[in-house]
Structure 1
Amino acid sequence: MKVSIYIIAVLLLGSCSSARVTDSWVSEAHKEYKPKKVLLIGLTDNISGRRLFEEQLKKEFTNRGVEAVESYAVFKPTFTNSKQTEEEIENEIKRLSNEGFDTVLISAVKGVDEKVNYSGDNFRVYYNWRQFGPYYYRYQNIYHLEGYYSKYKVYHIEASMFNLKENNDKSLVWIASYDIVDPSEVNTTVTNYVKAIIKSLEEHQLIDGD
């Protein structure tokens, strides 16, 4: 499960889960923005998860006529293996800009919530919920059945697009937040998340449809 968590963190759902967008925003100053060369960053310490996310996202951009490059093919190991200062990061941004990159899309896990789900029978509409007797009868299994409740986790993930040519507080082009519920199968999780990102970018007309 830990591997799945970090892969999603790409930043980084189960086979029957999906990535649900909870919020999205696009800058008024960038409504006509069209990225030409995008650096894709899955912010995770899991190398295989990072590659999977970035490669799938690259395929989607390429299919839409946008050049995209995975971060593992651009960043030197020394850049990702140690914490960088703000000055070092700015120097890296200058290097990227000199190499023709005009856009960065980065994704990271912002938080994880643990939830509890009721595991009993489905709600029965024929019960008279206004009377104590039927209500108690319905829920008394809480005392007697192990596993009456099941725990699951919700991962809050954020994806952001930045204009590298705008070296100021207006460089943020687009940002969106997603909830992924209890992921278990890595490939499906990443695929669903990538599709959700692409859908949002298309809706904001930052990229063309496939």
Structure 2
Amino acid sequence: MKLANTRVIRSLLLAGLALALGACASMRFTSAWRDTSYQGPPLKKIVVIGVSDQVASRRVFEDEFAKALKAAGVDAIPGYSLLPDKPDRSREELQQAVSTVQADGILVTRTLRTERRTDYSPGYVTYGPAFGYNSFWGYYGAMGMGVYAEPGRIYSYDVVTVETNLWPARDGKVLWSALSQTTDPGNTLTVTQELSKLVIDALREGQLIAAPPPK
């Protein structure tokens, strides 16, 4: 019984550690700014552009972000559907594409940096509870089995910093800008889903996009 209790405790501790590490993977803002002088109407049609030399990742990002904007009630167009599949898109190409679809906003996201970090998780010692024994003598004879030690460990992980800017389609300064970070991102789809939710909520709060239509 004592050994079973110890195994249960160990499993719970390891599960808690796994949940804590998994929670670190969520995207979060590290800074955000809005042009408070902008008093114009909410943007209704946005071209989404991901800056990357990886064509597949860029398409997944633009598709998924545009999908999230549409679900929020904002018309959105993935940039690759308007522009050539190349990392460097000229200003003239972008202006022509935005003018053609009559978009009033351009959302641009790029990865600024990826940092490899190392951290240390201290070890711990766990003592099993006294319940589960029929007498003191059973407990006394098994006391040495009630201790479980987990050594400390060193682990490494990536921290990715992403910049997102919202521009008016006409000439003008940036309306909204934010830096966000995520730890050990799994894939482009997951990161885009987390980022789009953060950004859309912030743009809605800043009245840069309209509130969703009533259901």
TM, length-normalised to structure 1: 0.69
Of structures 1 and 2, the one with the larger relative CO (CA 8 A, separation 6+) is: 1
Deviations 1:28-58 (A, max 9, x none): 2324441122110011122222222212211
2:157 aligns with 152
2:13 aligns with none
1:56 aligns with 64
Higher Cα radius of gyration:
2
Q: 1:65 aligns with which of 60, 63, 73?
A: 73
Q: Is 2:77 the counterpart of 1:40?
A: no
TM, length-normalised to structure 2: 0.68
Q: 2:33 aligns with which of 22, 25, 34?
A: 25
Q: CA RMSD in A?
A: 2.7
| Percent identity of paired positions between Structure 1 and Structure 2 | 24
CA contact (8 A) 1:20 1:178 kept: yes
Q: Is 2:107 the counterpart of 1:102?
A: no
Deviation at 1:190, TM superposition (A): 2.2
Q: 1:163 aligns with which of 135, 145, 168?
A: 168
CA contact (8 A) 1:164 1:171 kept: no
Q: 1:177 aligns with which of 176, 179, 182?
A: 179
- Return closer, same or farther for 1:202/1:113 CA change in 2, 3 Å cut-off: same
CA contact (8 A) 2:112 2:162 kept: yes
The number of aligned residues is: 168
Deviations 1:163-210 (A, max 9, x none): 121x2xx42111011011111244322211221111211221212344
Deviations 1:125-152 (A, max 9, x none): xxxxxxxxxxxxxxxx9xxx8x831111
Deviations 1:88-116 (A, max 9, x none): 41453145224412211000011122211
Equivalent-residue separation in structure 1 for 2:45 and 2:189 (angstroms): 26
2:194 aligns with 192
- Return closer, same or farther for 1:203/1:117 CA change in 2, 3 Å cut-off: same
CA contact (8 A) 1:15 1:189 kept: no
For structure 1, list consecutive stretches of 5 or more residues without a partner in the other structure: 1-13, 125-140
Equivalent-residue separation in structure 1 for 2:124 and 2:99 (angstroms): 56
Equivalent-residue separation in structure 1 for 2:125 and 2:176 (angstroms): 41
- Return closer, same or farther for 1:118/1:30 CA change in 2, 3 Å cut-off: same
Q: Is 2:84 the counterpart of 1:76?
A: yes
Q: What amino acid sits opposite 2:78 in the alignment?
A: E
The structure 1 segments of at least 4 consecutive aligned residues displaced by more than 4 Å after TM superposition are none
